[in-house]
């Protein structure tokens, strides 16, 4: 069965510093890969997604992610974080189920804290 | 509305009580999903609708969970005889097609069973 691992439960970064959030997946074929952000009391917002093609994906809010098949990874990066980036970040794998629908399998999330 | 709307935002239920959670998807969206997010965890898939048809209910944890979308728009997730382990945030998402399109999530309903 597919799975998503986010090894870092909590990361603290200084404002203006660079950020990398790790994500590893387990799946037999090339999956669809997503990063979502969840602010307190809010729903999930899509940051970026990878389906095929260029392995470096650009997203909203200055985020990017790189798909590395050899490492089964899809790490999220941002060159300079802002205080407003403090939130919970979820990596997800999208698969087509036996019923024909796409469904997402999420990691357990990484909580990002920004310090001044 | 502009986004996916869920109500109520918060629900406290006594153990054994039945609850109904509502989801208003983005107008015209064909696909609708329900996810359950336990505290400190990522969301977990519950069920999927394509219009009014419930095509995938493989994630529903027990037969106490029931979802419907009778007219292909608003959906209701019902939980009968709630248990403490049902306490979670229930997220609804909709998308325009079952293909590679973005799913838009609502803010969720936080259910606390006491």
What is the model's pLDDT at position A43? Answer: 85
Which of B3-17, B33-47, B88-102 is predicted with the least confidence, judged by mean pLDDT? Answer: B88-102
- Residue B11 DSSP SS3: strand
What is the model's pLDDT at position B101? Answer: 66
Note down pLDDT in tens along chain A; length 116 residues: 788 999 999 999 999 999 999 999 998 676 889 999 999 878 899 999 998 888 999 999 999 999 999 999 999 999 999 999 999 999 999 887 666 667 899 999 999 999 99
Average pLDDT, chain B: 93
**B88 at interface of A, judged by CB pairs closer than 8 A:** no
Which residues 6+ apart lie within 8 Å of B31 measured at CB?
A101, A102, B48, B49, B50, B94, B95, B96, B97, B98, B103
**A5 at interface of B, judged by CB pairs closer than 8 A:** no
Q: Are A58 and A75 in contact (CB under 8 A)?
A: no
CB atoms within 10 A of CB B73: 17
CB atoms within 10 A of CB B108: 26
Which of A52-66, A97-111, B6-20, B63-77 is predicted with the least confidence, judged by mean pLDDT? Answer: A97-111
**Nearest CA to CA, how far is B6 from chain A (Å)?**
10
- Enumerate the residues of chain A whose CB falls inside 8 A of the CB of residue B31: 101-102
**A-B Cβ pairs (cutoff 8 Å, strict):** 64
Residues paired with B7 in a beta bridge: B22
Put simply, the answer to whether A42 touches B50 (Cβ < 8 Å) is: no
Phi/psi of residue B69, each to 5°?
A: -150, 70
What is the model's pLDDT at position B97? Answer: 59
**A83 at interface of B, judged by CB pairs closer than 8 A:** no
Put simply, the answer to whether B42 touches A45 (Cβ < 8 Å) is: no
**A10 at interface of B, judged by CB pairs closer than 8 A:** no
Nearest to B100 among A36, A51, A108 (CB): A51
Put simply, the answer to whether B45 touches A105 (Cβ < 8 Å) is: yes
Put simply, the answer to whether A92 touches B50 (Cβ < 8 Å) is: no
Fill in the DSSP letter of residue B102: P
B40-52 residue pLDDT tens: 899 999 999 999 9
Q: Which residue of chain B is at minimal alpha-carbon distance from A33? A: B100
User: Is residue B99 scored above 70 in pLDDT?
Assistant: no
C-alpha to C-alpha distance for A26 and B89, rounded to whole angstroms: 26
**Nearest CA to CA, how far is B112 from chain A (Å)?**
15
- Enumerate the residues of chain A whose CB falls inside 8 A of the CB of residue B106: 43
- Enumerate the residues of chain B whose CB falls inside 8 A of the CB of residue A104: 33, 35, 43, 45, 103
- Enumerate the residues of chain B whose CB falls inside 8 A of the CB of residue A93: none
What is the model's pLDDT at position B98? Answer: 53
């Amino acid at each position: 069965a597919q799975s998503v691992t986010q090894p870092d439960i909590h990361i603290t970064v200084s404002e203006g510093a660079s950020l990398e959030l790790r994500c590893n997946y387990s799946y037999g074929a090339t999956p669809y890969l997503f990063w979502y952000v969840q602010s307190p009391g809010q729903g999930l917002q899509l940051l970026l997604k990878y389906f095929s093609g260029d392995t470096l994906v650009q997203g909203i809010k200055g985020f990017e992610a790189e798909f590395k098949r050899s490492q089964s990874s899809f790490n999220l990066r941002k060159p300079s974080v802002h205080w407003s980036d403090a939130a919970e970040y979820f990596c997800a794998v999208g698969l087509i189920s036996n019923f024909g629908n796409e469904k997402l399998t999420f990691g357990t999330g990484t909580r990002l804290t920004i310090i001044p | 509305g502009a986004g996916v709307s869920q109500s109520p935002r918060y629900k406290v239920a006594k153990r054994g009580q039945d609850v109904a959670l509502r989801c208003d998807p983005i107008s015209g969206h064909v696909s609708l999903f329900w996810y359950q997010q336990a505290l400190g965890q990522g969301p977990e898939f519950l069920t999927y609708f394509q219009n009014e048809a419930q095509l995938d209910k493989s994630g529903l944890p027990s037969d106490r969970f029931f979802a419907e979308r009778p007219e292909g728009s608003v959906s209701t997730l019902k939980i009968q005889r709630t248990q403490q382990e049902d306490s979670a945030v229930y997220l609804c998402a909709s998308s325009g097609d079952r293909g590679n399109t973005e799913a838009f999530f609502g803010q969720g309903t936080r259910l606390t069973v006491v």
